[in-house]
Structure 1
Amino acid sequence: MFETNWEIINEDKDIDDTDSIIKKILRNKGITSDEEIEEFLSSKPKKTYDPYLLKNMREVVEKIIKYINEKKSIWIYGDYDVDGISSISLLMDFLSKFTNNLNYYIPLREEEGYGLNCDAIEDIKKKGGELIITVDCGSTSVKEVNLAKELGMEIIVTDHHNLSDEVPNCLILNPKQEDCHYPFKLLCGCGIAFKLAQAIQKRLDAPKKYLSDVLDLVALATVADVVPLIDENRTLLKYGLKKINNSKRLGLKALIEAVGLRDKEITAGHIGFVIGPHFNASGRIDDAKASVKLLLSNDAKIVESLVKHLVKCNKERKAIQEKGLEICKEKVEKYYLEDLFLVVDSEGTHEGVIGIVAGRIRDLYYKPTLIVTQSQEEGILKGSGRSIDDIDIYEEMKKCEDLFIKFGGHKNACGFSIEKSKLDLLRKRLNEQALMIKQKSKDAFIKKLRIDCELKPSQITEELIEALKKIEPYGMGNEKPQFILRQIKVKNEKDSVFMGKNGEHLKLRGVSKFYDDLTEITAIGFGMAKNYKDIGYPQNVDVVGFPKLNEWNGYKNVQFMIYDLKEKGI
């Protein structure tokens, strides 16, 4: 178990009511003015921007309308993850209101890899394609764009990824490109596709319903692509969640029922942990076209079949993932426990899940992690990496770029391919670099737990839980607040603190000695029994977590969900 440092943000003792708790949380997020607070908490946010502020938008809109009017063949080309799937579905749904000459293309993960590829472009040309619109990819596809033009096709790139020094020679919609004055740079790929639809709707004075009908897709992608849930993303997600919870999209509604969420209010958490992984699963281990078909189909029998397929794919993905995780954990424990930078060969684990495995290993050991697997090419490994808070994995990998066949990524994650014979050298160099980081900053490898506010048990009420709902949806950039309760004196007997089939969960009841607060609190820690045992079954604990209203069999009770606990205070 790795070390965790607790830190209360802007410690303030004068937090005495629900309103001051909420304002303290928002202040921690940098939201201070009355106007900002009102917008952030509003159920009908207004923070959105004119799509024509995106560089090249007018030219892109006119070109697409020209191809629509001339009844030419338009192809949407996207990635195989939820963002790409949602982006393709959005433009297929929206543009189908104006033309029947629409098709889409999604590359196969194992055979073609991410982004535009020359074989796919040639295939689209053979099938009569005249205009390609990329979604969620294309910003660095210089060679592929040139090929499309040589073959007599037009191509428009819509994307949100970083651009390189050499830019494709075509019209590009990307807020990160030079001289683009769009105020918000952090939309996902589907968010960019939505802004394109918004601009076309304005230009053609089409019904606004065409836009509201696709907000559910924007919500799916915004959560699943882990973009910051702030500013315009927050606006789009709030309206998108409302759309999902009143879903008219047959396939999405059927999947929600199939995964046991029929009577639930769908939240960002449900998208991130349940719905999104099912859409991702088809692209990870099969063909992502199944997910697009599900989102676009109005045929009940087809939808039923596709839902079964996605559920099956996700079960298979989980099994492959868990097997790969066990292989990697065993190797870490046996060979690499002292390494600061984990580089692990997963022995042929399906490449569609190695990114997830890298994230899980990172979380278990709190170290930057690379997981590799054999590619279809003999002697070549494909890899995926995930990093910890204080280490920029892209910059560290860049120092080793002479070892890679292909490499890309950002601060938190990366992907690469490498000759198998060079893996040990990569591990050696990354560990030397990690040691230098640790020598400069010993805290770099210690997980920081940021605590928003200190609470007394008596402050954890239904009123507070309702007020906290206004800060949702939670996610990157708008993380769930964490609270600390100090010196809870555990009342239940040693044997009754554990629950679950194998006693793996923790349930503590008690009052706070620190505040002389006589309000009894129930604190639940899923999977945290081992943590409690490891610190010696203390009878007085500080706990960090989040309050929740537990409803069961018509009864309600307030619980505190434990994220971490310690015997002594910070």
Structure 2
Amino acid sequence: MVETLWKFHGIDDAFIPKPNGIDPIIQKVLFSKGITDTAEMEEFLSPKPQKTYNPFLMKNMEEASALVLQYILKKKNIWIYGDYDVDGVASIALLMDFLGRFTDRIHYYIPLRAEEGYGLNCEAIQEIKNKGADLIITVDCGSTSVKEAALAKSLGMEIIITDHHNLSEEKPDCLILNPKQEGCSYPFKLLCGCGIAFKLAQALQQKLGAPKNCLNEILDLLALATVADVVPLIDENRTMLKYGLQRINQPTRHGLNFLIQSIGLGGKKITAHHIGYILGPHFNASGRLDDARAGVELLLAREPEKVAALTRHLIACNNERKLIQDQGLEFCREKVEKEYPNDLFLVIDSGNTHEGVIGIIAGRIRDIYYRPTLIVTEATEEGILKGSGRSIDGLDIYETLKKSADLFVKFGGHKNACGFSIEKNKLPLLRQRLNQQAAEIKAENPGIFMKSLKVHGILRPTEITEKLVEELERIEPYGMGNEKPLFLMSNLPVSYPSELSFIGKAKEHIKLRGIPGSRGPMEAIGFGLAQCYLDRLGAPEALDLLGFPCFNEWNGNRSIQFMISDMKKSRNKD
């Protein structure tokens, strides 16, 4: 485990809470997130936030929604073209659900990951045309598809691109809905692909004079995509996610509800954590290993037998994905240790690892070594590698790789993640260039390659009350841009094995018992931290714990539990 730097933030004694009825500890956390105005605090904590924007503020929305409406009224064939990840799957389902209320001339297309790759492709556009398409609406892709958009128009089809990825200098010659494009005045630029599809649905709902309930009923899909695509959970994303989670927890979507029941989440309050780590991966797995259509079909299905069969398929795909992923991760870890232990930018050839899991492996390797990471694997084309990358805080992987654009066959992404294809013989040069860039970045900012955790406050165990935990729950949903606030409990005496024990199948987790909490002994749990304790800390007599207090519910009983994010040997011993 990479040693982390603890950065103390928002805990100075000079902080004076505002007399607004909000807990001072919560105010400190919000201050650290840049939320200082009382009205902003109340909006952030509200179960019914109001922060959302007029869809017609988005560049081309008036023209795009008018064009879609025209095709609906003329009973023309509309095709939704999306990506094979959760964002793309949910975006397709969202527009299929919404537009299906007003037309039966609605179809969709998802490329196969292994055979077609990400985004629009000319063969698919020709196939869609042959099936009678009049209008293509892309979701979660298309911002760089210049030749594909030109082909669609040359074949007599209109095309509207809805996307959230970065645009290239040369833009497709068609209507584009993307708040990142030049000249777009939309106030919030960080929607996921499904968020932009939802804004199109909002615009159409207004033009059609349709009841708002038809928007409320697709908010669950928006929540699924917003969390799974790891966009910042702030501003309008936070608003839409809160309402979307309410929708998921009052389920009306048969397929999603059946999946929730089938994977052991029935009866639980579904949170962003459940979406990100349990639900989302099931939808992703189908697109990674098989055909992402299964995910769309499950989200749209109503027939019990079809729902059950599709759910079984997604669960089987996810189980297979885990196995392949674990094998690939172990292969890549060994390669880093043997061949690239000192590289600042990890570029790893994973051999024949299934391309559907290389993005996950890139993220895991990034977390283990805290280095920006690219994982490549053999493509179906001779001499071509497909790759996926994940970055660390402060290093824009898209802009970094853009400087080596001459090496790529295909390349796209954003600051945190990227995808590309490259000729195999050019990989060593790419590795050399990226490590040279990383060295230059480190020279300017030495701390960028050291993982840091922000400390939001210091708590004595007796200060961790049920009321405080309930107040902290108001800061949810947590995710990128709204990370869990971490608190320090210092100088906790421990002895092994009376207070401290190792748990889990491989004894990989750590449990600390007997912490004197506000209402009796409290437990602290550190998942995956056993090795850290043994290797890095050397079994000290006292620990400083950095983590987050939450409720643990088991067999109808509720207790407070401190979830450990990191631990260090206590410097001060009473």
TM-score normalised by L of structure 1: 0.96
Query: How far is the alpha carbon of 1:422 from its aligned partner?
Result: 2.1
- Counting aligned pairs with the same residue, the percent is 63
Q: Is 1:555 matched up with 2:557?
A: yes
Shift in CA distance, 439/556, structure 1 to aligned 2, threshold 3 Å: same
1:90-489, aligned counterparts within 5 Å? 90-489=94-493
The aligned length equals: 567
SS across alignment from 2:161: strand
User: Do residues 523 (structure 1) and 524 (structure 2) align?
Assistant: yes
Q: Which residue of 2 aligns with 1:27?
A: 31
Distance (whole Å) between structure 2 residues aligned to residue 436 and residue 172 of structure 1 = 37
Letter in 2 for 1:5: L
Tell me: CA distance 1:91–1:502, structure 2 relative to 1, closer, same or farther (3 Å): closer
Residue type matched to 2:233 in 1?
Answer: L
Q: 1:486–1:543: 8 Å Cα contact kept in structure 2?
A: yes
Q: Which runs of 5+ in 2 are unaligned?
A: none
Question: CA shift at 1:569, angstroms?
Answer: 5.0
Give secondary structure in 2 for the equivalent of 1:452: strand
Computed over aligned residues only, the root mean square deviation of the Cα atoms, in angstroms, reads 2.0
Whole-angstrom CA distance in 2 between matches of 1:444 and 1:551: 38
- Contact 1:26–1:37 (Cα < 8 Å) also in 2: yes
What's the secondary structure of 2:23's corresponding residue?
Answer: helix
Q: C-alpha offsets along residues 506-550 of structure 1, whole Å, 9 cap, x if unaligned?
A: 1223558xxx99975422112211111121111111110000222
- Whether contact under 8 Å (1:457, 1:520) holds in the other structure is no
Distance 2:403 2:44 in 1: 41
CA gap 1:122/1:511 in 2 versus in 1, 3 angstroms: closer
Q: Give the Cα separation in 2 of the matches to 1:329 and 1:361.
A: 7
**1:252 counterpart SS class:** helix
Partners of 2:534 and 2:180 in 1: CA distance? 49
Shift of 1:77: 0.8
| Greater Cα offset, 163-172 or 104-113 | 163-172
- The 10-residue stretch of structure 1 (440-449 or 141-150) with the greater mean CA deviation from structure 2: 440-449
Contact 1:491–1:508, Cα closer than 8 Å, also in 2? no
Does residue 545 (structure 1) correspond to residue 553 (structure 2)? The answer is no
Larger mean Cα displacement after TM superposition, 544-553 or 464-473: 544-553
Paired with 2:364 and 2:62, the residues of 1 have a C-alpha distance of 44
Which residue does 2:3 correspond to in 1?
3
| Distance of 1:518 and 1:129 partners within structure 2 | 65
Q: Deviations over 1:225-249 (max 9, x none)?
A: 1111111111110110111111111
- Equivalent position of 1:78 in the other structure: 82
State the AA in 1 paired with 2:531: K
Counterpart selection for 1:490 from 488, 491, 494: 494
State the distance in 2 between where 1:204 and 1:384 align.
41
Q: Distance in 2 between matches of 1:382 and 1:337?
A: 23
Higher mean alpha-carbon deviation, 8-17 vs 267-276, is at: 8-17
Which residue of the partner structure matches residue 60 of structure 1? 64
How many Å separate the matches in 1 of 2:518 and 2:309?
A: 56
Point out the more displaced range, 345-354 or 392-401: 392-401
CA distance in 2, matches of 1:151, 1:225: 33
Taking the aligned partners of 1:311 and 1:270, their CA distance within structure 2 comes to 15
Say whether the 8 Å CA contact 1:456–1:517 is kept in structure 2: no
Q: Aligned equivalents of 2:99 and 2:55: distance in 1? A: 17
How much does 1:379 deviate? 1.2
Q: 1:163 Cα shift?
A: 1.7
State whether residues 68 and 98 of structure 1, in contact with CA within 8 Å, keep that contact through their aligned partners in structure 2.
yes
Letter in 1 for 2:349: D
| CA distance in structure 2 between the aligned counterparts of 1:407 and 1:51, rounded to whole angstroms | 30
- Aligned partners of 1:63, 1:553: CA distance in 2, in Å? 55
Matched letter for residue 563 of structure 2: M
Letter in 2 for 1:330: E
The one-letter code of the counterpart of 2:479 is G
- Asked if structure 1 preserves the Cα contact closer than 8 Å seen for 2:464 and 2:518, the reply is no
CA contact (8 A) 1:491 1:510 kept: no
1:72-124 CA-to-partner distances (Å, cap 9, x unmatched) read 11111111111111111111111111111111111111111111111111111
In the alignment, the residues of structure 2 paired with residue 554 and residue 358 of structure 1 have an alpha-carbon distance, to the nearest angstrom, of: 39
Q: TM-score, normalised by structure 2?
A: 0.95
Q: How far is 1:158 from its partner?
A: 1.3
> Residues 31 and 37 of structure 1 are in contact (CA less than 8 Å); yes or no, is this contact kept in structure 2?
yes
- From the superposition, tell whether residues 562 and 74 of structure 1 become closer, same or farther in structure 2 (CA, over 3 Å): same
CA contact (8 A) 2:549 2:562 kept: yes
Q: Which secondary structure state, in structure 1, belongs to the residue aligned with residue 144 of structure 2?
A: coil
Q: Residues 171 and 400 of structure 1: is their aligned pair in 2 closer, same or farther, counting only changes over 3 Å?
A: closer
Q: Name the amino acid aligned to 1:522.
A: E
Distance 1:202 1:442 in 2: 52
For residues 322 and 251 of structure 1, the distance between their equivalents in structure 2, rounded to whole angstroms, comes to: 28
- Name the CA distance, whole Å, in 1 between partners of 2:519 and 2:478: 31
Counterpart code for 1:394: Y
User: CA 1:511–1:260 in structure 2 vs 1: closer, same or farther (change >3 Å)?
Assistant: closer
Gaps of 5+ in 1: none
Question: Contact 2:255–2:300 at 8 Å: present in 1 too?
Answer: yes
Q: Distance in 1 between matches of 2:246 and 2:518?
A: 40
Asked if the contact 1:96–1:102 (Cα under 8 Å) also holds between the matched residues in 2, the reply is yes
Aligned in 2, Cα 1:519/1:256: closer, same or farther, shift over 3 Å?
closer
Q: Give 1:171 shift.
A: 1.5
Per-residue Cα deviation, 1:139-176 (whole angstroms, up to 9, x for no partner) = 22111111111111111111112222222111121212
Which residue of 1 is the match for residue 93 of structure 2? 89
Which of 528, 535, 538 is residue 536 of structure 1 equivalent to? 538
SS in 1 for 2:176: strand
For 1:16-51, what per-residue CA distance to the aligned partner results, in whole angstroms no more than 9, with x for missing partners?
998110000001011111110111111111111111
Matched, 1:51 2:55: yes
Q: Does the 8 A contact of 1:217 with 1:240 survive in 2? A: yes
Alpha-carbon separation, structure 2, partners of 1:564 and 1:311 = 32
Relative to structure 1, the CA distance from residue 162 to residue 438 in structure 2 (aligned partners, 3 Å threshold; closer, same or farther) is closer
Superposition deviation, residue 336 in structure 1: 1.4
Q: Is the 8 A contact 2:165 2:413 kept in 1?
A: no
> Distance in 2 between the 1:171 and 1:18 partners?
46
- Once the 2 structures are TM-superposed, how far is the Cα of residue 453 of structure 1 from its aligned partner? 1.1
| 8 Å contact kept, 1:80–1:108 | yes
Larger mean Cα displacement after TM superposition, 40-49 or 493-502: 493-502
Taking a change above 3 Å as real, the CA distance of residues 151 and 42 of structure 1, as seen in their structure-2 partners, is same
Choose 471-480 or 16-25, whichever is displaced more: 16-25
